[in-house]
Amino acid sequence: MAGPLDGKVAIVTGGGRGIGRALALGLGAAGAKVVVNDLGTSLQGESDGANPAEDVAAEIIAAGGQAVADNNSVSDPDGAEAMVKCAVGNFGRLDTVLNNAGIVRDGLFHKMSFDNFDSVTKVHLYGSYNVSRAAATVFREQESGSYVHFTSTAGLIGNLGQANYSSAKAGIAGLSRSIAIDMKRFGIRSNCIAPFALTRMVTSVPTGDTPEFAEKRKHMTAEKLVPMSVFLASDDASDVTGQVFAVRGNEIFVMSQPRPIRGLHRANGWTHDDIRDVFMPSVKNDLTPFETTMDVFFWDAI
């Protein structure tokens, strides 16, 4: 039976575990030839001596698909180039990049070390840039290609103890939108998914879940991310670009785009007193109430 990604070639970064593993297997089952990239790290980004990319590539092949493992780090620009060469060298082209690799090093902002900020940014934001940029040359020559980047509600909304991760994830949403603008003329698309899935990453984060939601979260498996990822990688999504979707269990959300809510113009410009006495009272009801846990914010919005 024909799959929606028959003939397509995909790179899945961080494809050895968690969501990435589900994506690599799911894309393989949908007909894609897959470069399963994974450095094999602990949750904090230290090498753990495992080679999960090899295991997942073997699983895809055993199921009748085509795959190759790649062990480069997304945070290394040369490694990203090698990853793209691996796709083109083995399978002759590249159609989609799923920027999924990630680590966390949580801590309250006022205690966060430079190293913990730097390493998380290098994997998420620089990692997404590196692999996207390396693929852009191939995409442009082909005049086709699709990026699916993994952002997070931690970045779109904010989260306790994750200033490094949140800023990198917000950066990925901006990266995606700008790629969508720059590369539209070549028929290349760029979208984001904000996933929810019970992986080792989530069990490490203090979510502030109520017992009821903790129970629900158990059903949010990594496999639930597959259909939306396959769809965005497929030609059926040829008119979908610059978007952010959240996927949580059986629910898919389209997230709002940052846009001005209300604007006031003053012919002679604004003084401090005008802002206090005129501008702020008139936008009072437009200010988004600020909460300290993203879950409260996200769930209340729906």
State which amino acid sits at residue 72: N
Distance CA 60, CA 33 (A): 9
Interface residue with ligand NAD among 120, 170, 201, 228 (CB under 6 A) is: 201
145 vs 195 by CB, closer to ligand NAD: 195
The interface region with ligand NAD, picked from 54-62, 110-118, 197-205, 274-282 by CB under 6 A, is: 197-205
Transcribe 123-169 into DSSP letters.
IIIIHHHHHHHHHHHHHHHHT-EEEEEE--HHHHT--TTBHHHHHHH
Residue 77 binding ligand NAD, by CB under 6 A: no
Residue 38 binding ligand NAD, by CB under 6 A: yes
Interface residue with ligand NAD among 61, 112, 160, 202 (CB under 6 A) is: 202
Map tokens 């799959």 to a residue: 3
Residue 14 binding ligand NAD, by CB under 6 A: yes
Residues between 111 and 140 with contacts to ligand NAD, criterion CB under 6 A? 123, 127
Residue 41 binding ligand NAD, by CB under 6 A: yes
Helix 163-183 vs helix 127-142: crossing angle, to nearest 10: 10
Distance CA 23, CA 30 (A): 10
Interface residue with ligand NAD among 163, 195, 224, 237 (CB under 6 A) is: 195
The interface region with ligand NAD, picked from 14-22, 132-140, 176-184, 258-266 by CB under 6 A, is: 14-22
| Nearest residue to ligand NAD, scored by beta-carbon proximity | 18
112 vs 202 by CB, closer to ligand NAD: 202
Residue 40 binding ligand NAD, by CB under 6 A: yes
- Pick the closest to residue 156 from 196, 199, 123 (CA basis): 196
Distance CA 3, CA 7 (A): 9
- Among residues 126, 129, 147, 165, the one annotated as catalytic is 165
Residue 191 binding ligand NAD, by CB under 6 A: no
Distance CA 80, CA 45 (A): 17
- Least gap, CB of 199 to ligand NAD (angstroms): 3
Residue 254 CA: distances (Å) to CA of 87, 156, 250, 251: 31, 12, 14, 10
The verdict on whether 165 is a catalytic residue reads yes
Paired residues of 119 in beta bridges: none
Residue 23 binding ligand NAD, by CB under 6 A: no
Sheet of 244-248: strands edge to edge?
Answer: 67-70, 33-37, 9-12, 96-99, 145-150, 188-196, 244-248, 251-254
Residue 161 binding ligand NAD, by CB under 6 A: no
Distance CA 147, CA 47 (A): 27
Residue 17 binding ligand NAD, by CB under 6 A: yes
Interface residue with ligand NAD among 57, 69, 74, 192 (CB under 6 A) is: 74
Residues that bind ligand NAD (CB under 6 A): 13-14, 16-20, 37-41, 43, 45, 52, 73-75, 100-103, 123, 127, 150, 152, 195-197, 199-202
Residue positions annotated with a catalytic role: 165
